[in-house]
Structures are given as C-alpha cells and as structure tokens.
Amino acid sequence: MGRPKIPYSREYSAQKQNARRRGIEFNFTYQSWIDWWGNDIVFRGKGADKLVMARKNDQGSYHPDNVIKLYGKDNVSQGNSGRIFSDEHRKNLSHSMSKGVISDEVLIKRSQALKDYQNKKETI
C-alpha cells in the first residue's frame, strides 16, 4: 500500500525548496507551516486570487513572526516596488492595463530606452 499521504507535504516541500533556491532562510517545520496557514490553507497557491505567504517588506526570512498572508496580486505589486498600493490605485492600474492604455511617462521611458539601445548598438 505504501506510505500514507501527508496533506500538503508537497506544497510545504516546494515552498521550502523555493526559498532555499532564492537564498532565503525558511524557519518553518511542516507542523508550524500547517498551523500558520490554518483553515486558509485551502486558498493558498499560485495566481492573483490565491493566498501566498509573503515576507514583511519582502525582507528577512520566512519565519512565523515575519510573514503575512496576501493575495498573489498584492504580493507582486508590493514586492516589485516596495510600496503598498491603495485599492483605488490598483483598480486604476487594472483598468488602464485591460484597456491597453499606457501613460505618457511610460511611453517616454520606453522611447528613451530604445534610443539608448540604438545608440549603444551603433557604437559597437
């Protein structure tokens, strides 16, 4: 019959391995990880609308005192910029992205980056 299946053991191992691969200390035992997730464990996973274990300010180790539960979309927006966006700001970003609208600031940055790339290419 084999070994009995331990609930969420693969998910625990994958998160631990991912932290190790990224050079981030992981200070959870399997049981402390299960306890930390509690009933929310059924909502964890990959994707914008799934819960993730996020480090506070995207710094330090994965430790019970240094992690919070966030939706994937919120973790990405905070981790990429170090800022916490308001619901209104996220709504506006989402709306503009779904409409394909690009701000003037982004267009200027992209234009400058392209010019810089072309100038660099010409000098080689």
Contacts of 32 (CB under 8 A, 6+ apart): 64
CA 92 and chain centroid, separation: 20
Which pTM value belongs to this model?
0.60
Neighbours of 102 (CB within 10 A): 11
| Main-chain phi, psi angles of 19, to 5 degrees | -60, -45
Q: Is residue 26 part of a domain?
A: yes
Query: Does residue 56 belong to any structural domain of this protein?
Result: yes
At 48-97, the pLDDT tens digits run 899 999 999 889 999 999 999 999 888 876 665 555 556 676 666 666 55
With respect to residue 71, please indicate whether it lies within any of the assigned structural domains: yes
Q: What angle do CA 10, 57, 97 make, to 5 degrees?
A: 85
* Structural domain of 67: 9-123
Provide the pLDDT for residue 54: 93
Tally of domains within the chain: 1
- What CATH number does residue 64 fall under? 3.30.40
Q: Please write the tens of the pLDDT for every residue from 10-54.
A: 999 999 999 999 999 999 999 999 999 999 999 999 888 999 999
Residue 103 located in a structural domain? yes
Q: Residue 14 in contact with residue 46, Cβ under 8 Å?
A: no
Residue 4 belongs to a domain = no
Question: What's residue 120's pLDDT?
Answer: 65
Q: Where are the beta strands (DSSP E) in the chain?
A: 51-55, 67-71
